Chain A
């Protein structure tokens, strides 16, 4: 039972969307959309499980004073503050969670706009610096392949800026060719292979051959 029930459920959950793709019958599409709704509900409960895990883990960290425990205090404080304003706002407390009608911010909105978004933006901005360091490493001409990569990258970079076009019109033209021909051909090759791989994996999951994601080993 421990093995059969999850495999049977997987088979049904995998087959229904496939059938719904080809069969427009109303009952089939109803079952398929209901399954999607169930996924959202299950994910909601799983999120609750996640929050419980975060609280447990970080409380233990603080109690044991393990390395980095002050970060756990900050995390729990953030969770408690945002959670309180969010929950209270959802039930009408503190003027709700969005901006008030007079244009002033509710506490939740203020924290979101002035703490959460800037922090998120900061993380995203780091990408530019990491990209520079990664490019430096990638474009070192250590061998033939890396040299070709370096030349292609230089042409594309010059082709994308007005200075490149000012130097010669061949920069944008060559850039266009590199992006549309060798680059696109390689990307499509990877995508076709990945698509077939994904379909093969999905088939293995549906027919119950691939079961490692369920925690079922070879012997089960």
Chain B
């Protein structure tokens, strides 16, 4: 979606500031977010002679530390150590032991093979102190490390490693909400033409003229999938048109939650169009929860009833081509839309119009022409512009061996 040149000029400095500030914030976050100083067992090890000094004994682990696991909900301590040289060749195993105090009764927590040098002990009580020892074992030989100083687990309030995601979320939400509020009072926002959505009226009209059915397939996923919600928004528009034209609409469903929502959407659309008398319960029906049984049912319906118009909008997987090709073979006008990248080529080949990725999500705004919805698309475009700038900057800096832009966007 294009952004006006005036806004582009306004937001280029903003983008530059954002990109300049983000690494600094991340750097300071990584400093602030460092876990509390770890308590090493090495100081206490000196009090007892290392076990590996005895001939024939395996070497003991070194640098044993125990500390509260950072950025977690509490109840866990992370134990780390440095493996002795040649641990793998010796076939060492490590037995992690836990006690309430350095001199307390140690019980086994877990056993790990050579190559492991870290263990997260979960299911502990916050605030209580725990000490750890690690035994190196080869056959009958055992070497014991000194105990760590006490460490106590505690809950944290923020996952510092997700700070960059939070900043991006705030920038994105801020820009969307800003443009939504601006759209309430500003002049109409321009949105480029989307052929697939322009064809919706024509497709419904065609079915009405031919006296044939409109088949609306809202994907195969449940209502917790955002593509399904986007599809239901388009279904509302199609159902309103069907009510106005007195066209025959059918919505077969695979998911029971989508079925319940789709029925409500269609019912309300008929009510809003002033034709509640035309709504029939069987318009929106449930088929089955199985993917291919659903596909068999819908393709069978296409072949037998020869609908004039098919809408395939939502989240689709392997059934996309089966449905689209069946519809194509019976000569129906087909409008499809999905954000599943792997299914897009099938729809492009077999359908007359395809809503690609973001066009699907923009559909409700495009069809309703409500300024607040259009405003959200404008805000989305701003974030896209910022990301494009960051991508460009990242590529250039990475070419010169500077990785901070790439690191700033790294998600954990």
A residues adjacent to B (C-beta < 8 A)? 18, 21-26, 29, 39, 42-43, 46-51, 53-54, 57, 60, 67-68, 71, 119-120, 123-124, 126-127, 130-131, 133-135, 137-138, 187, 190-194, 196-205, 207, 209-210, 212-219
Which one, B41-49, B54-62, B98-106, B375-383, is touching chain A? Answer: B375-383
Closest approach, in angstroms, between the C-beta of B393 and any C-beta of chain A? 16
Contact A134 B341 (CB under 8 A): no
Q: Are A198 and B172 in contact (CB under 8 A)?
A: no
With CB as the reference atom, state the residue of chain B lying closest to A198.
B226
Q: Are B349 and A134 in contact (CB under 8 A)?
A: yes
Question: What residues make up the interface of B, taking CB atoms closer than 8 Å to A?
Answer: 71-75, 155-159, 162, 165-166, 169, 172-173, 176-177, 180, 222-224, 226-227, 229-230, 232-233, 236-237, 253, 256-257, 259-261, 264-265, 267-269, 272, 282, 285-290, 292-293, 295-296, 300, 304, 318, 321-322, 324-326, 339, 341, 344-346, 348-350, 356-362, 364, 368, 370, 372-373, 376-377, 379-380, 383-384, 387
Complex contact B162–A21 (CB within 8 A): yes
Chain A residues near B176: list those with CB within 8 A: 200, 203-204
Chain B residues whose CB sits within 8 angstroms of the CB of A137 once the complex forms: 349-350
| B321 A124 Cβ-Cβ under 8 A | no
> Could you pull out 23 A-B pairs where Cβ atoms are within 8 angstroms?
A21-B159, A22-B159, A43-B222, A50-B289, A53-B259, A119-B292, A138-B348, A138-B349, A190-B357, A192-B387, A194-B357, A197-B358, A197-B359, A197-B360, A198-B339, A200-B172, A200-B376, A203-B172, A210-B233, A212-B237, A213-B229, A213-B233, A218-B368
With beta carbons under 8 angstroms apart, the residue of A21, A57, A215 that contacts B269 is: A215
Instruction: Assess A201 versus B226: contact at CB under 8 Å? Given A47-B256, A209-B373.
Output: yes
Q: In the bound complex, how far is the Cα of B75 from the Cα of A71, in angstroms? A: 57
Tell me, in angstroms, the Cα distance from A123 to B293 when the chains sit together.
8
Residue of chain B at shortest CB distance from A188: B341
A-B interface, 5 closest residue pairs, ranked by CB to CB distance from nearest? A215-B268, A197-B361, A197-B358, A194-B357, A46-B256
Is A215 touching B264 in the complex (CB atoms < 8 A)? Answer: yes
Beyond the given pairs A46-B260, A130-B325, A210-B233, 16 more chain A to chain B contacts, judged by CB atoms under 8 angstroms and listed by A's residue number, are: A18-B169, A22-B166, A23-B158, A24-B155, A46-B256, A50-B289, A124-B318, A127-B318, A134-B349, A196-B387, A198-B226, A198-B361, A199-B380, A209-B373, A212-B236, A218-B370
The reply to whether B384 and A217 contact each other, CB–CB distance below 8 Å, is no
B296 neighbours in A (Cβ, 8 Å): 119, 123
Q: Are A193 and B172 in contact (CB under 8 A)?
A: no
Closest to A46 in B: B256
A68 to B180, CA, bound (A): 50
B225's nearest neighbour on chain A, judged by CB, is A198
Of all chain B residues, the one with the shortest Cβ separation from A21 is B162
**A68–B156 contact, CB under 8 A?**
no
Q: Which residue of B lies closest to A68 (CB)?
A: B304
Q: How far is the CB of B363 from chain A (nearest CB, A)?
A: 10
